[in-house]
Amino acid sequence: MNLKRGQRGRAEIVVETFGKPAHSANPRAGINAVYAMAHLIREIAKLKAPVHPILGEGILELTDIKSSPYPGASVVPDYCRATYDRRLLVGETRESVLKPLLELIRNCKERDPKFDARVSFASGVERCYTGDEIRGERFFPGWVFDQDDAFVQTALAGLRSAVSIPRLLNIPSAPMAATTQARPASGPSASVHPEKTLRTPSTNTLRSIS
């Protein structure tokens, strides 16, 4: 049993491009939102990820892309939506995370006045075991405890009383469904997590909330 003292957060970022519908037999009469998205995705891929000495990279990864209308039989799509998974580091804010993406969109608009796009955080609704609903943006900050923090040392002392040689780890990881996780190579690990957890009856998993 090992103890982790930090964890990257997570944000779900939605990128949208807007075009003009037209018949695919006359595409020049419209603006293809998928082409606009393809260009923007290439530009986003050039962004350099921030790095934290303990948590590692603030990864930004494309996870899905959809266009409308779908199926687009003989229609130039006028809308496209891409979702990115962004791993958050300590100190990052909503504004600082979106800033480089907003700058890219602004630069694209300056080069092409017809280019139209926006970026935002996805929002969601979760139902907890009490039946209450929690609504909010999918933005969950990263966190790190100092290794000498009293909370960490108390947890470490508890592990030492239960197992032979626990280790204090700095390994970054994604937000987990629960506050413990398995490590096949060296035994299970427990995360010291400052956030609350709620159990959803539908999936019987624990979800972290700010």
HSE-CB for 114 with a 13 A CA cutoff = 11
Reported as a pLDDT band with limits 50, 70 and 90, residue 156 is: confident
Reported as a pLDDT band with limits 50, 70 and 90, residue 64 is: very high
Predicted confidence (pLDDT) per residue in 160-179, tens digit: 888 766 666 666 655 543 33
Reported as a pLDDT band with limits 50, 70 and 90, residue 184 is: very low
CA dihedral 144, 146, 149, 155 (to 10 degrees): 60
| pLDDT cut 70: percent of the chain above it | 78
- Residue 33: pLDDT over 80: yes
CA separation for the pair 84, 175 (Å, rounded): 16
The answer to whether the CB of 33 falls within 8 A of the CB of 77 is yes
As a whole number, mean pLDDT of residues 147-154 equals 90
pTM of the model: 0.74
The answer to whether the CB of 206 falls within 8 A of the CB of 193 is no
The single residue listed with the structure tokens 């035994």 is 187
- Average pLDDT over all residues of the chain: 83
Give every CB contact of residue 75 below 8 A, 6+ residues apart in sequence.
21, 22, 23, 24, 69
Q: What is the CA radius of gyration of the chain?
A: 22
As a whole number, mean pLDDT of residues 123-130 equals 91
Neighbour count for residue 206 (Cβ, 10 Å): 16
The residue among 162 and 128 whose pLDDT is bigger is: 128
As a whole number, mean pLDDT of residues 13-37 equals 97
Reported as a pLDDT band with limits 50, 70 and 90, residue 3 is: confident
Residue type, 113: P
CA separation for the pair 102, 110 (Å, rounded): 12
| Range in 35-39, 143-147, 190-194 with the lowest mean pLDDT | 190-194
At 158 the pLDDT is 87
Two tokens, residue 36: 């606009």
- Residue 187: pLDDT over 80: no
